[in-house]
Amino acid sequence: MATFQEFEEDLAANKPQARRLCERTCYRLGVLVATVANLAMPSRVLISGESSFIAKKNRESIRKGIDAFRHSQAAPVEFTIPNFTWRLWSDSAAARAIAAFIS
């Protein structure tokens, strides 16, 4: 069993098993995006988080997952993977807490 850090290192070293796992993970992420988009009908989806760097390594597999499961009559859904920083995450959480407190 490998740790997440070992997976990250193997992915950076372009090891075949890590590449395959990345492809499968990104495809499944695309399936999830398509499933949610079929219900919510957004025009754009943001993919972010501490492990979003994995999604950046294989956008093509995400697109394949979306295309395979997106309703045929629905408009295409775009996705963006912004650069993740803990600062951005903490600012967002703090802003929500402040807004809830003030309201």
Give me the helices (H) in 1-103, please. 4-12, 16-40, 52-57, 59-69, 86-102
> pLDDT for 87-99, tens place per residue?
776 777 677 778 7
> pLDDT for 8-38, tens place per residue?
999 999 999 999 999 999 999 999 999 999 9
* CATH superfamily name and code, 4-102: ATPase, nucleotide binding domain (3.30.420.40)
User: pTM of the entire structure?
Assistant: 0.81
> pLDDT for 47-73, tens place per residue?
988 888 899 999 999 999 999 999 999
| Higher pLDDT pick, 86 / 54 | 54
